[in-house]
Structure 1
Amino acid sequence: MNAGASTLSDLAVKDAVARVEAVADELEAGADESEKLGKLSDRSVSAIKSAGLMRLLQPKEHGGDEAHPAEFGEAVMAAASHCGASGWVAGVVGVHPWEIALMDPRVGEEVWGENQDTWVSSPYTPQGIADPVDGGYILNGRWQFSSGTDHSDWVFLGAITGDGTGRPAAAPKYLHVILPRTDYEIIQDSWNVIGLEGTGSKDVVVKGAFIPTYRTLVHEDVQSGAAAERTGRTETLYRLPFNVLFPLGISSAVIGIAEGALGLHLAYQRKRSNAGGVQIKSDPYSMFAISEAAAEIAASRSNLLDGVTKAYAHVEAGTPVSAVQTAEVRRNQIQSAWRAVRAVDEIFARSGGNAGRRDNPLQRFWRDAHMGLQHFIHVPGQVFHATALLEMGLELPENLRGAV
């Protein structure tokens, strides 16, 4: 066993949610400190590692579970229902082991050879230029929103290939590149926000780092499955399209936050009376709003998990996930997040003025839910447009081809 291999329980993977619930008190206790620190507290990080959240999609040869993605989504929801920041980081960072499995085997050894609990942050937005040189690329750029970066020893970044002078190539490729902590700088004062403060989603800067070719992937190869085929991966998990799997963790966190908000609202309303002295439980309008919100959040959960479950089943049966199917998964993933946050608004608006007090965690869940909706993965416009065209059997125009 590697020196860094942890002593995770031998619970079956199907008990991933149970592992999260076993550390629920620690996640809740660390939430306030994480928000004050502007990054996950050590207590929160320890709880996440204890639950094995980051290893769910990690390959087995590196101590991972290779879990069904729906189980990953459910575990992220569970974590987010106790601490939005913890669930968010688990949802974002927890996807990266999936992509490492698609890379040259040397990358997995570099990342996990000494410690199988090593975290890898991101973002994938192509905000850097990778100029080709002998054996790889020279990378420069600045990226925003690297969630969990203070606790990560590597980072995935998006880049476009350059012309050798620091400018985009005439026909650039979109790359995913992975770098060790020594090759980038974290900008510590770059995460000052109103929600998800504890995620520590700070900027990272790269100045002239050399990236060997084996630490890069072409985005289209990840999306199409070519990367999995080239690496010899036959497991169903690693043959899913990127646009099916990557958004799952992010939207799962938002829905989990909504579930946490609902739970707090129910507990708060149980004994609360309104300004007229009437107990809320006797107010049919408030009870209606609670049930409506609960149904919307439950529908969001089902819609999200149904999409990735069907995609997994198609791949497992040897049938590639079509462009239409991928688009529909993306559309429903976006809608599920919006639906859940709208439901949070309905219950928060009926929680009274005390819900806005800093010592009431409901206000943090409300803020975190809205900040989660701001992620570009939840922007509906182009995805909805492209999905409708594909369902009509029409070709996508050039500006929509990368949307789904």
Structure 2
Amino acid sequence: MSYLSISFSHKNTDIQTREKLAFPNEENKDRFLKQLLDDENIEEAILLSTCNRVEIITSVESTAKASKSIIQKLDNYSKIGFEDLYDRADIYENDGAIHHLFSVASALDSLVIGETQIVGQLKDAFRFSLSKNYCEQNLPRALHYSFKCAAAVRNATSLGTGSVSVASTAVAKAKEIINDTAGVKALVIGAGEMSELTIKHLLSAGFDVVLISRDTKKAQMLADTFEEHIDVKEYSKLEELLNEIPVMITATSAPYPIIKQEMVKECSFERFWFDIAVPRDIDDIESSNLMIYSVDDLQDIVNSNMSLRAEQAKTAYAIVNKMSLEFFDWLKSLEIEPVVKHMYLKAEEIIDKKVEHAMKKGFIHKDDEANIRKLCQTVINEYLHQPQKKIKSISKDNQCDIVVGTLQSIFGLKSDTNRLNSHNCDKFKINE
């Protein structure tokens, strides 16, 4: 088994490409994951799709064959072209795949370093695959450790504080432009998680928030969660509001643009629109006094954010490096523990067999059985103590698999499937 991750993010794709690769709903994700797992070479799969990235996280038999298969299926889905996707893709195998996963979970690979949403999005993707039985053991082990790593980074650094999300970056840009936000209205389109985060930052920045969504009831429920007044409008008022309010931030999950050229009227005041959805909510629009920012256009704030967080990021990467190594040590220990266990079980079987034989032959009396067994166990424990320590130290050796196989063959030891299953996905808590 090998770990394989194929990544498309702001680092190797533009927003137009990410729009085509995006999976806007669970039905699309489910269909694609099923197609991946139809390939007998791909054992387990998790799909993470956000506004800034698409990650295919898998355990496979052959990384070379699986890479081509995954990218071919992405081509079938997106119609981008196999060669283009293959050239763009960041492909990570084994150690690299785990290091990348831990970096993603710890928000070190994000557009905004330290943003707080990615670990929740990764947990959601994990839960989805768990619920569909698309991952069983290998990926849950890796995801479980990635969440531990993310928690360690949060505890050891201040990367999770301050303006650290795409939503907060958009609001920071709007505040920078407007300067005095008192009494300035900002329109938020959508009633999902990203919109909720956007509203929090807008209120903190001093804007008056107007909320609109196709689902007015859901929008009102969201508005009611805030102590400050949120003005909820009917979706039929969208075009009117677009031409009345100077700041707009949209973050819907619509698979196509909801704001088009014909909806935009010329205005005497300046308007600033922020499209933080992928696929984009705003079509290609030209209008005087209108500035439109997409996710990628927020790069200047992101660059500033990165420079301020450079030292913290060094600490975070050191944690990721350390925990990546620890993860593989832990995996090796899972292979060693059953070997040690079965060495002792084998010894117990021999003790049982020889004691019973000795009693049948009259070499020992029934009254002495318990003491004889204790003596035998003491001898075995003393004899196996040093080999046990040596075997456990081998778990960090590159030749561990060979040594384990040799020991199992020489001593006639069984493989412990029950031990392996004790580390399956049901054992991992993902609500950390």
Per the TM superposition, whether the score is higher than 0.5 is: no
Tell me which interval the TM-score lies in, with the shorter structure as reference length: under 0.3
TM-score by length of 2: 0.23
TM-score by length of 1: 0.24
- Max radius of gyration: which structure? 2
